[in-house]
């Protein structure tokens, strides 16, 4: 087995294609083995490295070349602390060496329309969706480049649960919204590669077909459980759903999704320039 097919097996463990025979490279091997990091050493990434990573992020593809991503670095310690305090269950938000916020920025194009005297209406669903995707692509590009430079990162979408407070702290104007924060720093500890769903569930050929979902998820739950079982004390919402004898990924995600997050986000967006028409 090559290092690459080994990495694919570790990522999926589904006995699927191993990529054997295809030429790989350093980036491909890194992506296959990448992992989110939530604990960082005290070493601070240099400003020069951060500038480089921002340039990489802003080199990501952008819908229609509208370039609707913006990146905000939170340097001010009081602002960092104020944001961190909103999410005590995720202490890495307040203490990671670097914290960036990736913004969907539908405002810039709206303003350019005004500057050029054109009737731009960018608070539409299309404007929101395009700006969201641009910001997500920019963030993922930074993630991969940061990891290749030896940094560890953790995206932070929980900030949207307190979008009013976070936006007030960051002074976000209408038509600009946080897609996610990003913690960055040099990793402390190893972490682990998170097993992905079997490709029989997430890929299709010529025609969408999820007839194998139940079997695929069951198989995944058991394989994932054998690698990283979720401890009994981390079962969610036991008061409501009861203690599960077998608590796999799908039970955890179904319980998580049953407690819908993000209730504050739609009213925030509607109050800040988005009609979604
Ligand atoms: C858009 C997005 C938002 C996320 N938000 C959070 C978050 O708020 N807090 C957190 O600790 N991790 C967050 N994560 C990290 C995911 O939990 C992590 O990517 C997932 O468990 C898979 O692990 P892996 O990236 O190591 O493969 C987020 C990831 C993404 C892509």
* Alpha carbon distance 266, 47 (integer Å): 35
Cβ–ligand 1 contact at 36 (below 6 Å): yes
95 Cα–ligand 1 center, Å: 17
CB atoms within 10 A of CB 178: 23
Cβ–ligand 1 contact at 228 (below 6 Å): no
36 Cα–ligand 1 center, Å: 7
Res 256: pLDDT: 97
Res 190: pLDDT: 87
Q: Is this structure's pTM higher than 0.75?
A: yes
Res 146: pLDDT: 98
CA of 36, closest atom in ligand 1? 26
141 Cα–ligand 1 center, Å: 15
Cβ–ligand 1 contact at 148 (below 6 Å): no
Q: What is the pLDDT along the chain (277 residues), one digit of tens a residue?
A: 688 899 999 999 999 999 999 999 999 999 999 999 999 999 999 999 999 999 999 999 999 999 999 999 999 999 999 999 999 999 999 999 999 999 999 999 999 999 999 999 999 999 999 999 999 999 999 999 999 999 999 999 999 999 999 999 999 999 999 999 999 999 999 889 999 999 999 999 999 999 999 999 999 999 999 999 999 999 999 999 999 999 999 999 999 999 989 999 999 999 999 999 9
22 Cα–ligand 1 center, Å: 30
Cβ–ligand 1 contact at 158 (below 6 Å): yes
Q: Which two tokens stand for residue 243?
A: 């203690």
For the chain, the straight-line distance linking the first and the last C-alpha, in angstroms and rounded, comes to 53
How would DSSP label each residue in 85-107?
Answer: HT-TT-THHHHSSEEEEEEEE-H
Closest CA to 44 of 115, 99, 109: 99
69 Cα–ligand 1 center, Å: 19
Cβ–ligand 1 contact at 33 (below 6 Å): no
Q: What does the DSSP 8-state code read for residue 132?
A: H
């Amino acid at each position: 087995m090559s290092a690459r097919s080994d990495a694919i097996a570790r990522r999926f463990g589904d006995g699927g294609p191993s990529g054997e025979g295809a030429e790989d490279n350093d980036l491909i091997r890194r992506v296959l083995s990448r992992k989110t990091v939530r604990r960082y050493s005290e070493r601070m990434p240099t400003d020069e490295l951060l500038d480089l990573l921002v340039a990489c992020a802003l080199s990501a593809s952008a819908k229609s070349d509208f370039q609707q991503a913006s990146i905000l670095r939170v340097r001010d310690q009081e602002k960092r602390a104020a944001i961190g305090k909103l999410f005590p269950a995720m202490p890495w938000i307040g203490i990671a060496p670097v914290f960036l916020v990736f913004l969907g920025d539908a405002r810039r194009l709206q303003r350019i329309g005004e500057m050029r005297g054109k009737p731009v209406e960018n608070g539409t669903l299309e404007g929101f969706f395009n700006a969201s995707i641009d910001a997500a692509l920019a963030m993922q590009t930074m993630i991969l480049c940061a990891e290749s430079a030896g940094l560890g990162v953790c995206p932070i979408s929980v900030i949207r649960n307190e979008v009013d407070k976070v936006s007030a702290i960051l002074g976000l104007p209408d038509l600009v919204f946080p897609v996610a924060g990003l913690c960055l720093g040099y990793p402390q500890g190893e972490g682990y590669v998170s097993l992905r769903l079997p490709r029989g569930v997430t890929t299709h050929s010529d025609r969408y077909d999820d007839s194998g979902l139940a079997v695929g998820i069951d198989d995944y739950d058991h394989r994932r459980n054998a690698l990283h079982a979720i401890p009994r004390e981390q079962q969610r919402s036991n008061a409501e759903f009861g203690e599960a004898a077998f608590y796999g990924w799908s039970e955890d995600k179904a319980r998580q999704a049953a407690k819908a997050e993000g209730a504050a986000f739609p009213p925030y967006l509607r109050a800040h320039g988005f009609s979604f028409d």
